[in-house]
Each structure stands twice: as C-alpha cells, then as structure tokens.
Amino acid sequence: MRLRVSGDQTGNEYDLGLVMGQETAASGLPHGDLMNDFVEAICARDGPRTAKSRQAIVDALGEGAMLDAAAVVAAFNAYPRMADATGIPLEDAKEAATAELREELGLAAFNQG
C-alpha cells in the first residue's frame, strides 16, 4: 500500500488501520481527522457534511489543499469502479507483497471474486 511506502520513504509511521475507519487521532497522519471526514462525506454524498468538512480543511490547510484532496477522492471514485467492473485481480507481485497487510486490515472481505 502506497501509504506505507510513503512512510518508509519519509521515516514516518502511520497506523494503516485508519484506512479501514479506525481512529484517526493517533494514526500519525497530519490532519488525518479532517481528511477522513472529507472523504467520508464526499463518498456518502452528504452535502452538508461535505460543506462543513471542506471549510474545515480550507481553514486548517488552505484552499489548495482542499482542491487537491477533492481531486484525489474524485479519482478514487473512478479506479475502484474500473477495477470492479472488469474483475481485475491483484498483480502477483502486489498480492505477495501485501499478504500480511491485507490480513491485518481484513481486506479479503471486499473480494467478491
């Protein structure tokens, strides 16, 4: 997972459980709580919550950060759909490299095959 790779490259430690909705406060990710609220609101198509979390990011990090975050969330409303629509499996190398991580995070629950 690239979040772990980023941590390896920068020397930061992140609790990857935050990806699966675990508590963001102690995750090590700067402004993880703001990021999480924003992505959850957008994916839930919750207008009021999106507006509130958008403003919180703008207040804390600036408009550019909010736009960049929005862009990533939008892109990742595409890639999963492309993958799920065509049934692509994990690449062999990726599957081997992430076996322990996927077990730790319980990602097998998403594998509809």
Partner 1 sequence: MPAHDAAPRALRPDLRDALNRNHDRLAQPGCWLDGRQRLDVAAEARNAWDCPLCQVRKEALSPHAVSGDHVGLGRLPAPWVDVIHRLVTDPGRLSARWYHDAMDGGMVEDEIIEVISVTVQAVVIDCFTAAIGMDRPAPPEPAPGQPARKHAAEAKTGPGWAATIAPEDAQPDFADFYDNDSHFYIRRSLTLVPGETRRLWDLLNHLYLEDPRVFELDGLERDISRAQIEFLAARASALLGCYY
Site of interaction with partner 1 (CB under 8 A): 1-3, 5-7, 9-10, 12, 14, 18-21, 29-32, 35-36, 38-40, 42-45, 47, 50-51, 54, 61-91, 107-108, 110-113
The Cα 58–Cα 70 span in angstroms is 12
- CB nearer to partner 1: give 25 or 89: 89
Q: Which DSSP letter does residue 22 get? A: -
Q: What is the CA radius of gyration of the chain?
A: 15
8 A C-beta contact, residue 90 and residue 1: no
Q: How far is the CB of 39 from partner 1 (least distance, A)?
A: 5
Q: How far is residue 41's CA from residue 109's CA, in Å, rounded to a whole number?
A: 23
**Could you tell me the smallest distance in angstroms from the CB atom of residue 50 to partner 1?**
6
Q: Report in angstroms how near the CB of residue 10 gets to partner 1 at its nearest.
A: 7
